[in-house]
């Protein structure tokens, strides 16, 4: 969970490659899946 200038958002895991570029480790296959992951994570985060 990251606090950006427009509020909290969920950042998917990333790894830095040997070329120093960042690559996603996890990719949601659909927009709906990404939204659901974000919703569930932010809901759990707000309970802490």
Model-level pTM? 0.73
Helix ranges, the chain (H): 31-46
pLDDT at 5 (0 to 100)? 96
Residue 18 three-state SS = coil
pLDDT at 47 (0 to 100)? 92
Give the tens place of pLDDT for each residue, 1-46: 999 999 999 999 999 999 999 999 999 999 999 999 999 999 999 9
Q: Which residue in this structure is represented by tokens 């709906």?
A: 32
Length of the chain as a residue count: 48
């Amino acid at each position: 969970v990251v606090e950006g200038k427009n509020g909290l958002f969920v950042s998917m895991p990333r790894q830095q490659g040997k070329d120093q570029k960042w690559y996603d480790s996890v990719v949601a296959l659909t927009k709906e899946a990404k939204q659901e992951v974000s919703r569930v994570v932010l809901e759990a985060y707000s309970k802490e």
